[in-house]
Every structure is written in structure tokens, then in C-alpha cells.
Structure 1
Amino acid sequence: MRYLTIEWLKLKYYKIFWILSILYVLGMVIVGGSWMFLMEFLKNQGASFEGIDPTVLPLYDFPDVWQNMSYIATYFNVFPSFIVVISMTNEFSYRTLRQNIIDGLSREQFLLSKLSLIVGMTLLAMVVVFFLAFFTGLVYAKDPSFSLITQDLFFIPTLGLTVFLYCSFALLVSLLLKRSGFTIVLLFMYTLIFEPFTVLNFEHNPFLPGFFKTIAPYMPVEAINNLIHVPFQKYIFQEIQDYLTFSEVFAAIVWAFVYWGLIYWIVRRKDL
């Protein structure tokens, strides 16, 4: 708790921290909680899905709602990652890291303070999505029985793992680049352009050895994305993956160790 307090004291007067935090929570709540209103609108416009009334789609039924909400929330992982980027790069911009070390804070304690920030953002995401899914499920689900409510709850901690991984990745990049604007642009480009095209090339380029197709699912961002698969095809009678595999979880945990191993090495060895 002491280390989280250190981060809180650094961030609480920083306006962009509050803007990003509010956008993060409101974004998940508004987007996740408004699907039924969207379905009503589509119905009134005469739309249908393969002849099915859109309002009868069980988007908020238990246990579907856990995966649906968790998947939607992954699109908002950029907000906590930006908070981590700003927190880390500000240490270099305002030389607070060097001053903290001079004042007696060890490098390990500094790392624990950043880890506590990421864990705090992870818990925030889990709590918001849990209550959002739970209450929308109670309102709209046709059968809110205890057995269905408790089924597939593992998607909530899985969401937490995606937040933790992406924020850890952002922290590592921040340590390497030390500038917030450059780091945010690079994260965007890597996440949305470079890695997706690389994975696509690995999977479908006939001139590459099969090894590349094998490693494609284990690229950094792809490993995060594979934890919670797109759930909505089931509503047009297509098969989806609504479970976790050992290889997906193992890859995510390995990346977590890689990120934090590199972060520890940089903080311990480099002149900060």
C-alpha cells in the first residue's frame, strides 16, 4: 500500500491522469452498457441479423455477459497503459526518479511503486467490468440463476491479465524511450499496424517456413488478444472459443516474466 501511495501522490494533481481515468471508466460503462439501446434502435430501423430480432440476442445473458463485457473492455486497455507511460516518462522529464533514489528510495522500491500502479489499474478494470456485467445481466438476462451467474467468471481475472500485460509492455517501452509522446505513438503503431501485419504475414505468407505460422500467436500483443476471443459470432451461429487454453495462459505468463525481467535489468543496470 505504501508504494501505491507514492504513485498516488505523484499523479493526483496531474490533470491528464484524471482525464484518462475518467475516460477509461466511462468508456467501458457507456459502451458496455448501451448495447441493448443500440439493439432497440436497430430494431426500430427495421434491421435484423439473419432474420432475427436484434433485441432478442442474449448479449447480457449469463454466462455470455462475462466474456462479452471483458472482450469489449480490452479495447480500452490503452487508457491505463497511457497512465503508466505518463507516470514513467514524467520520472525522466522532472527528474523525480533520480531525486527519489538520492532521497533513499531503492531501485527495487521504485519498481514496486510502478508495479503497484499497474496492479491498481488492473484491479480497477476487474471491479468496473464485474459490476457492469453483473448488473446489466441482472436487468436483461432471461435466467439470472446462481449457477449461470457463476459460470465463466474466469473472464474477469483474464481481463485483468490483459490489462497487466499491456501496462507492463507500456512500462518497458517507456523505460527505453523516456518520452511520453514518442512512446504513445510507438505503442499505437506497434499495436495497430506493425504487429497485426507481421502476424498476418506469418500466418498467410506461403513463402515463409511453417515455423513463423507457429510462433504468430505468441507475439506480444497477439498473446494478449488471444486471452479473450471475439464472442459475437455465436449470435449468427458460428463457433467461438469461450474458454482458455494452457498455451494461451502460459504464453501470457512468460511475457509477463520477460517484461518484468527486462524492466528490472534496465532499472538496476542503467544510469537513470
Structure 2
Amino acid sequence: MKRLLEIEFIKLWNNRASKALIISYFILLTSIALIAAVKFDIGPIKFHLAEQGIFNFPYIWHFNTFITAIFKLFLAIVIVSMMANEYSNKTIKQNLIDGLSKKEFVLSKFLTVISFSLVSTIFVFVVSLILGLVYSDYNEISIIFSELEYLFAFFIKLVGFFSFCLFLGILVKRSAFALGFLILWAIFENLGIRFLVWGFMGKEASEKVLDFLPLESMSNLLKEPFSRLGAVQSVAKQIGEEFNMDYVVHWYEILIVLFWTGCFIYGSYALLKKRDL
């Protein structure tokens, strides 16, 4: 496995575009700390975002993983480009000639996906821990390390999403078309399937069906955290509204994403095995 990872990282690091995107991605993950600097001081109105509780433990684990998950598109571009380069540069054929089996080739890509996801998760953990220790009103050990399931959900979400991108990269072969297909699928899943099922089974049933689809199931792992804020809930109560959302990371949501991850990796191998390279 170490050999397979070394091969992949050498390819990525020797590609300028991939290197720039990877560095940009981790810079963006770090830039979440800049949120703490957001201040508005207009006459009697003074607003400091960091004082609104967004960096309080354990809420910070939910907030930061939700926000940083948005930046996953940077690594998605790296992954689909990685596969496109394999075809355009014919390195995939050369790897197979040099003795790498198709199974090992797909495994090397999946190990890269896991590595990206794991490093991202560790990075978010460290940045969040530092921000929390600086700004959180709660510094008890039991509170700091509660709700870490959001980090696990973040890791699973990235593995699932990047596995989907890997599958699209192998299926379509060209990065621009693969990314276009990803966008089209997101639209089709969120609008096309939603209204199709809604028409036949009703709104409530359509929502349940959507929960089992790839991108929607990944999205369900980290629900929006903003309505958890005390300030938001306070405003909602003043206008007669109340939030009753379920923010918990459920085990069955994890299983659905893991199922799709398995399908994408097996599908990648099946496509590669079938093709004459």
C-alpha cells in the first residue's frame, strides 16, 4: 500500500495544477480562522462574529466541518484531473505494462482518496481545536471532546464524495466533462428525481427516497448548523418560530454513504477491468 501511495503522490506533486489546487485547498481550510476577525462597529452597534458562539465547544465541531466541507470541490477537481491525466498521458497503460494490476491501480486511487480525506479531517480538527481553545466559553475536557462524531461524519462524507469523483473520472475520462456530469447529477438528483418521486408518491415519500441517493445522503451527514446558535433561536422565538431540526449524525446515514462508496469503487474497478487500455 505504501508503494501505491508513493506512486500516486509523485504523480500529483509533479503536476503543477494539482499541486496548486491542493495547496489552495489547505490554505482555504486554514482561512476559516479569519471568521474570528469579522467585526462590525457602526456607532452603538458592535458585532463580533467570534463572540456569537460559533467557536464554542462542542458546537465548533459541527460548524467548522459543515463550512469546510464546501471546499471539497477543490480536491474533487484534483481527483478527476488525476484520472484524466492518466488517460491523456497514457500513464495508466504504462503502469499496467510495468506490472501494476487493474485492481492495484484502483486501490492506489482509493488510497489517495482516503489520504486526502484523513489529512483534511486532521487539519480541521487541529484548526478547530486551536480556535476553540482561544474563543470558546467552555474549556472543560469533557465538553471539548464531545460531539466528535461530526469529524467522523466529515471524513466519511469526503471519502464518499471523492469516490464518486473518482468513478466519474474513470467513466468520462476527461476532467471538464466529469465535473460537468457531477453538476448535472446534482441538479438531476435534487430537482429531477425529487419532483418525479413527488408526483408519484407525494412530498413526504420523495424526501425519504432522496435520503438514499448519493449526494443527498452525503449532505445529510452534516446538517446546517446555523439554527443551533442561541442568537438565531432567540430571534426565532421572538417572531413565533421554533427550530426542531435533528442535528444528530445517525449510524444509518453513515451506512448509506459507505454503501455508495463501495458501489463507486467497485464500479471504477468494473469499468477499468472491462476496458481495453
Match of 1:10 in 2: 11
> Displacement, 1:198?
3.0
8 Å CA contact 2:79–2:162 kept in 1: the answer is: yes
2:177 maps to 1:182 = yes
* TM-score, normalised by the number of residues in structure 2: 0.88
Q: Does 1:232 align with 2:226?
A: yes
**Structure 1 gap segments, 5+ residues each:** none
**Could you say what secondary structure the match of 1:208 adopts?**
helix
Show the counterpart of 2:99: 104
Q: Aligned equivalents of 2:10 and 2:30: distance in 1?
A: 27
Partner residue of 2:258?
253
Q: Deviations over 1:164-212 (max 9, x none)?
A: 1111000111111101111122223333x33222355257x4x321454
Whole-Å separation in 2 of the counterparts to 1:46 and 1:221: 44
Distance 1:214 1:224 in 2: 14
Structure 1 pair 45–80 and aligned structure 2 pair: CA distance change class (3 A): farther
Kindly provide the CA deviation profile for residues 8-27 of structure 1, in whole angstroms up to 9, marking residues without a partner as x: 12111111111111221111
* Alignment pair present for 1:266 and 2:266: no
1:75 aligns with 2:80: no
Aligned mates of 1:55, 1:76 — CA distance in 2: 21
The one-letter code matched in structure 1 to 2:66 is Y
Out of 192, 214, 221, which is 1:220 matched to? 214
Question: Residues of 2 paired with 1:201 and 1:57: CA distance?
Answer: 38
- Over 3 Å counting, the alpha-carbon distance change for 1:46 and 1:175 in structure 2 is farther
SS where residue 226 of structure 1 aligns? helix
User: Which amino acid is the alignment partner of residue 172 of structure 2?
Assistant: L
Deviation readout 1:193-238 (Å, 9 max, x if unpaired)? 33222355257x4x32145443111111101000010011122113
**C-alpha RMSD of the superposition:** 2.0
Cα distance in 1 between the residues matched to 2:48 and 2:130? 23
Q: Which moved more, 1:215-224 or 1:59-68?
A: 215-224
- In the superposition, the TM-score normalised over structure 1's length comes to 0.90
Letter in 1 for 2:247: D
Query: Which runs of 5 or more residues in structure 2 are unaligned?
Result: 234-242
Sequence identity, in percent? 25
Residue 19 of structure 1 aligns with which residue?
Answer: 20
Contact 1:226 1:248 in 2 (8 A): yes
Opposite residue 217 of structure 1, the aligned amino acid is: D
CA shift, 1:253, in A, is 1.4
What displacement does 1:46 show?
Answer: 6.5
1:37 maps to amino acid: A
